[in-house]
Amino acid sequence: MSARVLVLNGPNLGRLGSREPDVYGSTTYAGLVERCTAAGAELGLAVEVRETNDEGELIRWLHEAADQRLPVVLNPGAFTHYSYGLRDAAAQRTAPLIEVHISNPYAREEFRHTSVIAAVASGTIAGFGIGSYVLALRALAAQAGEGPAA
């Protein structure tokens, strides 16, 4: 049986492919879902990908993950920089939580250099495009002893 993993995405990530392709690439949100589920299957993980523009919904999903002891790959989007509610929900994790970003926040505007999530995450992967998600899934599989880390 495959280990279940939630891949949670915050605001504007459903606009991938049309939103600033010079920053976020040309892969659509559907392409992201396909890539994550395929990578998960290769790693023995049952990946469920979700996206919301609603902070409360994202917090509820983190509570669900904590209650069910599910690993999480989290791209908080803009909530990364200021959502203490999201940070507090992530701090309740009962399994690994990896923060991901498609772009490298440190190579962008100064306000993006701060993450309120990073201190409560197991780790952060950023700057590898959609590949950031695949790297996070590999890390989770390796931690679970179900696949290679690299």
Q: What is the CATH number of the domain that holds 78?
A: 3.40.50.9100
pLDDT in tens, 41-94: 999 999 999 999 999 999 999 999 999 999 999 999 988 988 999 999 999 999
Domain count, the chain: 1
Residue 66 belongs to some domain of the structure: yes
Q: Extract the runs of DSSP E, i.e. beta strands, from 27-144.
A: 45-51, 72-75, 97-101, 123-126
**What is the SS3 assignment for 8?**
strand
On whether residue 83 sits in a domain, the answer given is yes
Q: Is residue 136 part of a domain?
A: yes
Higher-pLDDT residue of 101, 17: 101
Binding residues for substrate: 75, 81, 88, 102-103, 112
- 112-117, long-range: CB < 8 A, 24+ apart: 112/80, 112/81, 114/81, 115/80, 115/81, 116/80, 116/81, 116/82, 116/83, 116/84, 116/86, 116/87, 117/74, 117/76, 117/79, 117/80, 117/86, 117/87, 117/90
pLDDT single digits (tens) 83-94: 999 999 999 999
Residue 16 lies in a domain: yes
Instruction: Kindly list the catalytic residues.
Output: 24, 101
Which residues are part of a known binding site? 75, 81, 88, 102-103, 112
Residue 92 lies in a domain: yes
The pTM of this model reads: 0.87
Whether residue 150 is contained in a domain is answered as no
Residue 30 lies in a domain: yes
Is 55 inside any structural domain? yes
What is the span of the domain harbouring residue 49?
Answer: 3-143
